[in-house]
Amino acid sequence: DSGVTQTPKHLITATGQRVTLRCSPRSGDLSVYWYQQSLDQGLQFLIQYYNGEERAKGNILERFSAQQFPDLHSELNLSSLELGDSALYFCASSVPGERAFFGQGTRLTVV
């Protein structure tokens, strides 16, 4: 168990809908990272938050957004969903400058 908790584990939704994925980082970790993993693209970095503020952006679509709350949990919001958004979404957390630990992911299926 990495200590990073993601909910829900599975999500099935229709095209055009909006969903929210939740991540609770390891105790003491201030950095949270979101990744998308699809079969053809591998693990792609989406966005990083550090202590409530956006720190870095990767290949995140404009339809996607995230935030980190004062208690350090983070949410990834995906809107106007398309079939191609079906993927595994992972959250990772770390102490600054140290190794990142991953949660078990949320499997999103858009139908």
Partner 1 sequence: QKEVEQDPGPLSVPEGAIVSLNCTYSNSAFQYFMWYRQYSRKGPELLMYTYSSGNKEDGRFTAQVDKSSKYISLFIRDSQPSDSATYLCAGSGGSYIPTFGRGTSLIVHP
**CB-CB contact of 4 with 28 (8 Å):** no
Stretch that binds partner 1, among 20-28, 52-60, 62-70, 78-86 (CB under 8 A): 52-60
- Answer yes or no whether residue 60 interacts with partner 1 by CB under 8 A: no
Can you tell me which of 11, 24, 29, 31 binds partner 1, judged by CB under 8 A? 31
Stretch that binds partner 1, among 14-22, 65-73, 76-84, 91-99 (CB under 8 A): 91-99
- Closer to partner 1 by Cβ: residue 13 or 45: 45
- Answer yes or no whether residue 30 interacts with partner 1 by CB under 8 A: no
Maximum Cα–Cα distance across the chain: 39
- Answer yes or no whether residue 90 interacts with partner 1 by CB under 8 A: yes
Which whole-number Å values give the CA distances from 83 to 17, 42, 55, 64, in the listed order? Answer: 11, 17, 29, 14
End-to-end CA distance of the chain: 31
Residue 92 CB-half CA count within 13 A: 20
**CB-CB contact of 93 with 100 (8 Å):** yes
- Where do contacts with partner 1 occur on this chain (CB under 8 A)? 2, 4, 31, 33, 35, 37, 41-43, 45, 48, 55-56, 58, 88, 90, 92, 94, 96-105, 107
